[in-house]
Structure 1
Amino acid sequence: MSDQTTAPSPAVTRRIVSFLHRAWVAELRVYASIGRAIARRPAVPPGGTGIAYHRPVLTVLFIFIGLSAVEIPILDLIVHRWPIVRITLLVLGIWGVTWMLGLLCAMIMRPHAVSPEGIRVRNGLEIDVPISWDDIASVAISRRVDEPKRPRIAEGEYAERMQDETNIEIELERPTLVALPGLAPKGGAHRVDRIRLWADDPRAFLDAARPFLTA
């Protein structure tokens, strides 16, 4: 009786390829963000203004980084008798701390950007959604708290929340495509007519956008 192997379906293959690609891009952005932080060069287009969004999670990130750093010498002390295990855990520990530092740097060095080209909605290592001024009808301060785990895309609306909250609302002139990382239904291109996001300083965001809206 011959052995039969079942090849993965095209959908499964696409998901695996998409995951590996996203992981690779995120890894590169970790080190790029650390480099930007060292050089003090935030990713803001010429003539633009960067608006931070990381304040609500800053304390949590510092706690995770601190715990990860403390964990390295503790584990090293426990497994020092086994060189292979010790080296493996040491490499993984350093990589983990570096990754967390890169995420923190990404949130600081890749802020929301308001520039002559439009608005770039950002979050961490992956999210970077450009919207041109031609597609924007209005920008307003509007604070809203959503239910936990509510999807980013729902009912024609894209919400880039920080701890389930947004405080900026962007009304679009017409249904506009936004592209999110990953495959549908969570990722991929979606047509929306409203975008909500969190800005640490919503007044500064509105002030930066106002000259382009009235031009």
Structure 2
Amino acid sequence: MSTETRSTAPPAPTRTARALNFLYRALIAELRVYSSIGRAIARRPAVPRGGTGIAYHQPVMTILIIFIVLSAVEIPILDLIVHPWPAVRIPILILGIWGLTWMIGLLCAMLMRPHAVGPDGIRIRSGLELDVAVSWNDIASVAIAKRVDEPKQPRITATEEGAEYAERMQDETNIEIELERPVTIRLPGLQPKGGHHEVIRIRLWADDPRAFLAAARPFLIAAD
């Protein structure tokens, strides 16, 4: 007699849910662009009091700067080309300035929203959206462990011990956080790539892994 196997996977999001989620994420990203520029002007990185910010932007910094320079050069060139046609010139000028502002905001977000190691735990960040917080009570150890994964691997992958979350920079991570127990984290977007996931290990990239470890060590000792 055959038994029916029930799937525990969450139902796929509807088209309406996907559209609303896209609009919400676009709005958050747009707001973060301007808030990050404001933080850069005020020189106020998003690091908690008593914490340390650890950068992760070094591998992509050159590419971002090249895109910003090209976007800035493109605006006057296109404006010169379409100058005789105001109906075309004005929308292109607005789009060009908006695109340049967005690229500058993305760069500022990477500079002003670093990984944060503070009294409450570790916050893993990336760009405009990602902000995953893990408390010291859930962290068993933090170690330097460089790994290079296959391209286009998902952030959440299955291992023998449980699910693993990896926030890579150009397919690489160099910090490994072992958790005391499975911990639920929330990633931007909807299931299966986003949403809530229960993980047992976290990997991430830090420009200075030794500084990351040095910042975490006093809190790990205190937690013990």
Q: TM-score, normalised by structure 2?
A: 0.91
Q: Structure 2 matches for 1:20-59, cutoff 5 A?
A: 20-59=23-62
Contact in 1 for aligned 2:146/2:172 (Cα 8 Å):
yes
Q: d(CA) in 2 for partners of 1:62 and 1:165?
A: 21
Q: d(CA) in 1 for partners of 2:186 and 2:32?
A: 18
Q: d(CA) in 1 for partners of 2:106 and 2:42?
A: 16
Percent identity, aligned pairs only, is 76
Count of aligned residue pairs for this structure pair: 207
Q: d(CA) in 2 for partners of 1:96 and 1:84?
A: 19
Letter of the structure 1 residue corresponding to residue 140 of structure 2:
A
Contact in 1 for aligned 2:187/2:195 (Cα 8 Å):
yes
SS in 2 for 1:53: coil
Displacement of 1:10 in angstroms is: 7.1
Per-residue CA distance 1:30-52 (angstroms, 9 max, x = gap): 00000000000000001000000
Q: Structure 2 matches for 1:102-113, cutoff 5 A?
A: 102-113=105-116
Contact in 1 for aligned 2:13/2:191 (Cα 8 Å):
no
Per-residue CA distance 1:181-209 (angstroms, 9 max, x = gap): 10000000000000000000000000000
Displacement of 1:166 in angstroms is: 0.4
Q: Which moved more, 1:9-18 or 1:19-28?
A: 9-18
Q: TM-score, normalised by structure 1?
A: 0.95
Letter of the structure 2 residue corresponding to residue 57 of structure 1:
V
Q: d(CA) in 1 for partners of 2:180 and 2:136?
A: 9
Q: d(CA) in 2 for partners of 1:211 and 1:84?
A: 61
Q: d(CA) in 2 for partners of 1:84 and 1:182?
A: 37
Displacement of 1:77 in angstroms is: 1.1
Over 3 Å counting, the alpha-carbon distance change for 1:10 and 1:174 in structure 2 is closer
Q: d(CA) in 1 for partners of 2:211 and 2:191?
A: 34
Displacement of 1:78 in angstroms is: 1.1
Paired position in structure 1 for 2:175: 168
Contact in 1 for aligned 2:13/2:190 (Cα 8 Å):
no
Q: 1:200 aligns with which of 198, 202, 207?
A: 207
1:97 aligns with 2:100: yes
Runs of 4+ residues over 6 Å off in structure 1:
none
